[in-house]
Amino acid sequence: MTSDSAVITLEAVSKRYGSRTVVHDLSFTVDEGEIVGFLGPNGAGKTTTMRMIAGFTAASTGRVRVAGYDMATQNVEAARLIGYQPERPPLYDTLDVSAYLRFVARAKGVRRAAVPAELERVIAACHLEAVVRREIFKLSKGYRQRLGLAQALLGTPQVLLLDEPTAGLDPGQIQETREVIRAFGEHHAVLFSTHILAEVTLICRRVAIINHGRLLAIDSPSALRRAQEETHRVSLQVSGPSTEVRDALLSVKGVIAVDVHAMPDNAGLLAVDCRVEPRQGLEAAIARAVTHRWDLHRLERQEPTLENVFLQYVKTRPDGA
Amino acid sequence: MTGTLAVYQKELASYFRSPIAYYVVAVFLLGTGYFFLYNVFLTGETTMAATFQNMGILLVTLVPVISMRLFSAEFSAGTAELLLTLPLEPWQIVVAKYLGAVTILVLMTAATVVDLVPLYLFGTPETTTILAGYVGFVLLGMACLALGLFFSTLTHNQIVAALITAAVLLGLWFVGHLQSFQRSDALRGLFGYLSFAQHFTDFIQGLVRTEAVAFYLVVAAIALTLSAGYLQWRR
């Protein structure tokens, strides 16, 4: 599971709170120059995993290493190399933006002389120029989120851990944030959690899917999509006898399985769900097989989006078995 | 060291950008002023002894207001995730926060020096006794703040932190009174030794005893060590 260029390494990591196990036996790596998306429903264990990598909490069993440092014993040394944006931006409401960033920079060990340039860099990267002198409690949610990202970028982090960095942002701000992540990820390691699946396909090289604290899959977004190709589906509504409709559809080349239900609110109309091979033009063949004998009311091709992939994994493997 | 200093400066900035420090200092100075006027002008004695005694109990009731936010507020606001993932050891964070609170204590103590002006104008007070009283007062405050800091590491709720601190500090202030109810010399000795008020009385009388100085410092050191240990353990 480990590789030479791995900056973040989790080896059989579990986290228990009393008798409740939040993360089970999690193993994966994030390499230098790689952006990994972390997908999972609420309560899946994403935040706990992020916290273990950031050193906020320690793993109950297993080992978390960041840049070679064991987070159980060397978390302070590793902290210099980690930029961490928690799910809730860690902001001191009574400070203004500039004082806050100056505090974080100094606390991360940035030399006093280098602080102004550092502040300028992250303020520009996160587009905070308009609010530099504003007190944090007066900031909008979007600015709070971006300030949370700005503090994570301070210093010289080799690793960026972002827990839902685009939550609460408008589309323009989301775009800007993605650009920051993409630019940083070119030379460093980034692990970020999100609910927006499109984001994962846009900027991640790999996606880790987690549910009930277990890793369900880790692969490239396109490979995950391929993994779901057998779930290409064509759904249709036909008025006709169910056995004959099923036989007619199964005789079409490329149709793997057919599921027929009578529609409860419309006697005589059937809802048909076909699992098909992933090739073009199949809809036309299906339509032809149906229309020369019965009335076709509706036909729809369902592409396997990452959302489907995610839901499919979560639905079919709820315990990660 | 840079990181510890940054946390210390952030603490001071947070105090003075929120109304809490102003409230505490104002209540303390108004209270001290009242007691001073009452004790000096009504009795005609040019000493600070009675005023120091009143300042002590006032301090015990105000310390929880200063200390309650030290860690509880960080936990409830989510800033603990930043603070505890900085390249700093837990003890460095504890010390920085503690020194921030002690700075507020020293500032409000220094502000009471204004009371000494009429004392020296209209009488001949014993300077060394007054100095001893101030030393004792700051040491008492340091012990109280350290205990308050420890209790604030235990809960996300500032009010709970303040209530526990107030209960414990008042208990330690008044525990000396239990001596009269004890037959056992050992228990009488123990209650007397634990009493914050009795050690403070020595200072008010002008006695800077090593035992009393060590008592307050050891209480503070134990509380701070427990705080750092707890922060490390809760990971």
Give domain limits for chain B.
Answer: 2-233
Question: Could you tell me the pLDDT band of residue A318, with boundaries at 50, 70 and 90?
Answer: very low
A161 and A285, same domain (yes or no): no
Q: Are A175 and A181 in contact (CB under 8 A)?
A: no
* Mean pLDDT across A212-228: 78
pLDDT at res. A108: 93
A254 and A171, same domain (yes or no): no
pLDDT at res. B170: 94
Gap between the Cα atoms of B21 and B107, Å rounded: 10
A-side interface with B, Cβ within 8 Å?
51, 54-58, 75-77, 79-80, 82, 84, 86, 88-95, 99, 103-104, 106-109, 112, 135, 151
A36 and A159, same domain (yes or no): yes
A220 and A239, same domain (yes or no): no
* Mean pLDDT across A154-173: 89
* Mean pLDDT across A238-262: 89
In a domain, A113, yes or no: no
Residues with Cβ within 8 Å of residue B13, at least 6 apart in sequence: A94, A95, A99, A103
In a domain, A1, yes or no: no
pLDDT at res. A280: 79
Region at A43 (left for phi over 0; alpha for psi -120 to 50; beta for the rest):
left
Q: Which of B54, B23, B38 is nearest to B201 (CA)?
A: B54
In a domain, A319, yes or no: no
A61 and A78, same domain (yes or no): yes
Instruction: Compare all CA atoms of chain B with the CA of A73 and give the residue at the minimum distance.
Output: B232
Report which residue type is found at A261. H
> What angle do helix axes B127-154 and B49-67 make, rounded to 10 degrees?
20
Residue A235 structural domain: 230-303
Q: Where are the alpha helices (DSSP H) in chain A?
A: 46-54, 75-79, 97-107, 115-125, 141-153, 171-185, 197-203, 221-227, 242-250, 282-291, 306-316
Question: Could you tell me the pLDDT band of residue A242, with boundaries at 50, 70 and 90?
Answer: confident
A56 and A11, same domain (yes or no): yes
A237 and A221, same domain (yes or no): no
A294 and A157, same domain (yes or no): no
Two tokens at B148? 């308050």
Q: What is the pLDDT of residues B193-229, one digit of tens each?
A: 888 988 999 999 888 999 999 999 999 999 999 999 9
Gap between the Cα atoms of A182 and A173, Å rounded: 14
In A, which residues are within 8 Å of B21 by CB distance? none
Domain boundary among A193, A227, A261: A227
How many Å lie between the alpha carbon of B70 and the closest alpha carbon of chain A?
13
CB contact under 8 A, B77 and A90: yes
Q: Are A254 and A282 in contact (CB under 8 A)?
A: yes
A65 and A77, same domain (yes or no): yes
B-side interface with A, Cβ within 8 Å?
2-3, 5-7, 9-10, 13-14, 17-18, 77-89, 235
In a domain, A28, yes or no: yes
A75 and A155, same domain (yes or no): yes
In a domain, A292, yes or no: yes
Looking at residue A65, which CATH number applies to its domain? 3.40.50.300
A207 and A275, same domain (yes or no): no
How many beta-carbon pairs below 8 A join chains A and B?
A: 86
Closest CB from A82, A88, A103 relative to B85: A82
pLDDT at res. B117: 87
How many Å lie between the alpha carbon of B8 and the closest alpha carbon of chain A?
10
Instruction: Compare all CA atoms of chain B with the CA of A110 and give the residue at the minimum distance.
Output: B2
Question: Could you tell me the pLDDT band of residue A304, with boundaries at 50, 70 and 90?
Answer: low
Q: What is the pLDDT of residues B127-159, one digit of tens each?
A: 899 999 999 999 999 999 999 999 999 999 999
Segments of chain B with pLDDT less than 50: none
Gap between the Cα atoms of B50 and B36, Å rounded: 8
Q: Are B116 and B33 in contact (CB under 8 A)?
A: no
Average pLDDT of the residues of chain A? 86
Among A47-61, A73-87, A167-181, the minimum mean pLDDT is found in: A167-181
Gap between the Cα atoms of A198 and B179, Å rounded: 72
Q: Are A190 and A160 in contact (CB under 8 A)?
A: yes
Please state the domain count of chain A: 2
In a domain, A187, yes or no: yes
Gap between the Cα atoms of A20 and A16, Å rounded: 6
Positive or negative, the Cα torsion across B76, A44, A189, A182?
A: negative
Residues with Cβ within 8 Å of residue A259, at least 6 apart in sequence: A272, A273, A274, A275
pLDDT > 70: percent of chain A: 90
pLDDT at res. B21: 85
Instruction: Compare all CA atoms of chain A with the CA of B9 and give the residue at the minimum distance.
Output: A103
Gap between the Cα atoms of B32 and B110, Å rounded: 12
A274 and A218, same domain (yes or no): no
Gap between the Cα atoms of B114 and B116, Å rounded: 5
* Mean pLDDT across A298-308: 73
Looking at residue A286, which CATH number applies to its domain? 3.30.70.260
pLDDT > 90: percent of chain A: 44
Gap between the Cα atoms of B45 and B162, Å rounded: 36
Gap between the Cα atoms of A208 and A203, Å rounded: 14
In A, which residues are within 8 Å of B12 by CB distance? none
